[in-house]
Chains A and B, each alone.
Chain A
C-alpha cells in the first residue's frame, strides 16, 4: 500500500537545499516507508521553496545516505499544487547528477 508523506509536517522555514535534505533524511529514516511505493505530498508549500535546489538536494542526500536508492528516488510520486510544478520536478529529477560530497573550492 502506498505510503503518503506529508511534507508540511516535516519541512521547516529553512532554505530550499536545507529543506530538501531534511525531507530526504526524514524519508530514509522512516523504517515504514518503502521508497518504491511512496507519495510525497508537498501541497500547501510555498512555490518559492519547491525549486530546483530543493529537489536536487533531496536526491543528493539520498545518494549520500543510500546511493543504491537514487534511481528509485527519481521515481517518487510528488503531489503538488500547480500544474507547472509537476513538469518542472520531472525535468529536475531527470537531469539530476549526483556529486561527490567533497566540493572543490575555487
Chain B
C-alpha cells in the first residue's frame, strides 16, 4: 500500500512517494515506487509486481517523454495486463503539457484513459489522509497560496505528513522534481533504487544527503508555522499578548530565512545532479 502526492506550479512540479509494500500478513520498506523519465515522473500504487513490470517496460521502451507517456502507459495496460488485474494498479504522473508541469492520474480499473491534467493529485491508501488535509487547509483558507517551487515543497511536506497516519504508508519518501523542463530525484537513503540513471544509483547516498538537508529545512518551517499557529490560538480566549505577537514575528522572520536556505539548498542539489549526469546546469 502506498501514498503518492503530486503538486504542480508555474514552472515546477513535485511528486512525493512512500516506499512501503504491504500484504495482509507483513510489511516491507524501501521499494522504489517512482520512475524518473527524461522530463516526467511516474508513480504507481497497488501491486508491486505490476508496478515494477511497468517500470521495466518503460525502461525498455523507445525514446519517450511527457508527450507520449500517457499513451504509452495505456498501451502497457492494454497489452501486458489481463483485465482482471486492472483494479490492482493505479498511476500518477507529473509531466509537461503544453510546456507547463501538470499532475495526472490513471486508474485502469475504473477509467479507460488518464484523468485530465490538474495541479494536484494523490493516489494510494494514504491519499485519503492527504486529500482530507488538503481540503481542511482549503476550507480554513490556509491552502498553499503560492506556485513557486519552495511554496509547493512546503505545502507538500505538510500534506504527505498527514499520510503518516495510515498504517500502510511509511515515512521513507522518494522526492521527484520537474524543474526547468527536466526531472530530478532524491529521497531516503534506505530506498532500493533500481530504475534510474546508473550514476544516480551509484551516488544515491550523496543524493540522499541533499534530501535529508532539504527535509530538515521543510520540517523546521513546519515547526515554526505550527508554533505560530499555537501562539495565535490564544485569541480564542482573549489571552493573546504582545509577547505572543513577538514570538509570531520571530517565527515569521525565521521562516523567511529558512525558505532562503531551502532555495539555496535546492539549487545546490540541482547543480549537483546536473553535474552528475553531465548536463548543463539550470539557469
Q: Which residues of A contact B (CB under 8 A)?
A: 15-17, 46-53, 56, 81-85, 87-88, 91-92, 99, 103-106
Query: Does B216 contact A84, Cβ atoms closer than 8 Å?
Result: yes
Tell me whether B10 is interfacial, beta carbon within 8 Å: no
Give the interface size bracket for B toward A: 20 to 34
- Given A48-B226, A82-B212, do A104 and B242 touch, yes or no (CB 8 Å)? yes
Query: Does B261 contact A87, Cβ atoms closer than 8 Å?
Result: yes
Residue from B215, B240, B257 whose CB has the most chain A CB atoms within 10 Å: B257
Instruction: Point out the residue from A52, A87, A103 that lies within 8 Å of B224, measured CB to CB.
Output: A52
Chain B residues positioned under 8 Å from A81 (CB to CB): 216
Q: List 16 A-B contacts (CB under 8 A).
A: A16-B223, A46-B219, A46-B223, A47-B217, A47-B220, A51-B224, A51-B254, A53-B247, A81-B216, A84-B213, A88-B257, A99-B243, A104-B243, A105-B240, A105-B241, A106-B241
Number of A-B contacts (CB under 8 A): 80
| Least CB distance, B218 to chain A, in whole angstroms | 8
Instruction: Point out the residue from A88, A104, A105, A106 that lies within 8 Å of B254, measured CB to CB.
Output: A88
- Given A15-B230, A82-B212, A106-B240, do A52 and B217 touch, yes or no (CB 8 Å)? no
Instruction: Point out the residue from A47, A85, A106 that lies within 8 Å of B242, measured CB to CB.
Output: A106
- Given A104-B242, A105-B241, A106-B241, do A92 and B223 touch, yes or no (CB 8 Å)? no
Contact with A along B12-55 (1 / 0, CB 8 A): 00000000000000000000000000000000000000000000
Chain B 223-259 residues near chain A, CB threshold 8 A: 223-224, 226-227, 230, 238-243, 245-247, 250-251, 253-254, 257-258
Query: Does B243 contact A16, Cβ atoms closer than 8 Å?
Result: no
Tell me whether B182 is interfacial, beta carbon within 8 Å: no
Query: Does B241 contact A88, Cβ atoms closer than 8 Å?
Result: no
Tell me if B's interface is mostly helix, strand, loop or mixed. Answer: helix
Chain B residues positioned under 8 Å from A52 (CB to CB): 224, 250-251, 253-254
Q: Which residues of B contact A (CB under 8 A)?
A: 212-213, 215-217, 219-220, 222-224, 226-227, 230, 238-243, 245-247, 250-251, 253-254, 257-258, 261, 265
Query: Does A84 contact B247, Cβ atoms closer than 8 Å?
Result: no
Chain B residues positioned under 8 Å from A15 (CB to CB): 227, 230
Chain B residues positioned under 8 Å from A84 (CB to CB): 213, 216-217, 220, 258, 261, 265
Instruction: Point out the residue from B239, B240, B241, B251 that lies within 8 Å of A53, measured CB to CB.
Output: B251
| Least CB distance, B226 to chain A, in whole angstroms | 7
Chain A residues positioned under 8 Å from B257 (CB to CB): 88, 91
Query: Does B258 contact A88, Cβ atoms closer than 8 Å?
Result: yes
